[in-house]
Amino acid sequence: MKITPGGVVAAEWTKFSSLRSTWITTGISVLLLIAFGVIASASFSGDSLSAVDLALSGSILAALTVGVLGALLGASEYTTGMIRATLAAVPRRLPVLWSKSLVAGLAALVVMTAGAFGAFALGSAVLNDGVAALGLGDDGVLRTLFGAGLYLGLVAVLGVALGMLVRSSAGAIAILAGVLLILPGLVALLPDSISDPVGPYLPSNAGNAVMTLTQADGSLAPWTGLAVFAGYVVVALAAAAYRLKKTDA
């Protein structure tokens, strides 16, 4: 009997999968992704968006719910007091953060990748006549769909990091929504001389680059965008790790 990294991951998976809220939040995330994709695919006509971009219309909202999933997982340790039992069992502490991130990230990656493919398949089936159909073999389609899964997986990790960092569900969710949804809108209001160079590097804009086929002007290249977003996640994780290690539980 001893602590193993695999054991800590298994424990975090048990915690993750044994909560009803996990399944509800995950279900809502997939539902939003697919529902928005199908509705947009069926109703949009024009050539400014491709079939795969339409199929992923729900990704912005799905990002919020997936982030909430991660934030709840992280913050609930503190709001319920469970953290004391958790850290008494794993007194080195950091393995808990890594394992929780891994479990939430991988679960979101797998489910949301499947969701992205589902949205694309269903969206293509009901695609508005005004939009050119795309197949999985077309340029960039696979990258976009897998990119959506990777981005949403990373958003779940960001949620975990914020939850463990601020130790409050409401606080973590507010920060998450602010960063992903409100910040881009605020920066867009600034003069172009500021918003043009800064905008593409904002977390959600950078992440968006990897899951859009038709790149907006000034957007980062797909994988660069994902790497930039991953950088934000690493910073949040580092901050969470510092607080976890240095402060009283």
Partner 1 sequence: MIQVRELTKRYGAKTVVDHLSFTAKPGQVTGFLGPNGAGKSTTMRMIVGLDAPNSGDVLVNGKPYASSKAPLHEIGVLLEAKAVHPGRTAVSHLLALARTHGIPRSRVDEVLALAGLTAVAHKRVGAFSLGMGQRLGIAAALLGDPAVVMLDEPVNGLDPEGVLWVRNLLAGLAAEGRTVMLSSHLMSEVSLVADHLVIVGRGKLLADTTVADFVTAEGVRVVTAAPDALRTAIAAAGVTVTSTGAEELFVTGRSAREIGLAAATRGIPLFELTPQNASLEEAFMDLTRHAVEYEASR
**Closer CB to partner 1, residue 139 or residue 248?**
248
CB 112 within 8 A of CB 149: yes
For residue 218, which phi and psi values (nearest 5 degrees)? 80, -5
Least distance (Å) between residue 99 CB and partner 1 = 9
Contacts 24+ apart (CB under 8 A), 130-138: 130/44, 130/45, 130/46, 130/47, 131/41, 131/44, 131/45, 131/46, 131/47, 131/49, 131/50, 131/51, 131/54, 132/47, 132/50, 132/51, 133/51, 134/50, 134/51, 134/52, 134/213
Count of residues that bind partner 1 according to CB under 8 A = 30
Q: How many helices (H) and strands (E) does the chain have?
A: 12, 0
Contact between 27 and partner 1 per CB under 8 A: no
For the chain, the distance separating the N- and C-terminal CA atoms, rounded to the nearest angstrom, is 25
- Give Dmax (Cα) for the chain: 63
**Closer CB to partner 1, residue 65 or residue 205?**
65
Torsion of CA 182, 187, 190, 191, to 10 degrees: -150
**Closer CB to partner 1, residue 3 or residue 194?**
3
**Closer CB to partner 1, residue 1 or residue 189?**
1
Least distance (Å) between residue 5 CB and partner 1 = 10
Contact between 88 and partner 1 per CB under 8 A: yes
CB 66 within 8 A of CB 29: yes
Q: Which of residues 91-130 bind partner 1 (CB under 8 A)?
A: 91-92
Least distance (Å) between residue 228 CB and partner 1 = 34
Taking phi over 0 as left and psi of -120 to 50 as alpha, with beta for the rest, 128 belongs to beta
Query: Residue 132 belongs to what H/E stretch?
Result: none
Least distance (Å) between residue 71 CB and partner 1 = 15
Contact between 14 and partner 1 per CB under 8 A: yes
From 27, 43, 84, 218, residue interacting with partner 1 (rule: CB under 8 A): 84
Least distance (Å) between residue 174 CB and partner 1 = 21
Least distance (Å) between residue 95 CB and partner 1 = 9
Q: Mask 157-196, x = binds partner 1 (CB under 8 A)?
A: ----------------------------------------
From 35, 39, 90, 187, residue interacting with partner 1 (rule: CB under 8 A): 90
List interacting residues with partner 1 (CB under 8 A).
1-4, 7-8, 10-12, 14-15, 18-21, 76, 80-82, 84-92, 248-249
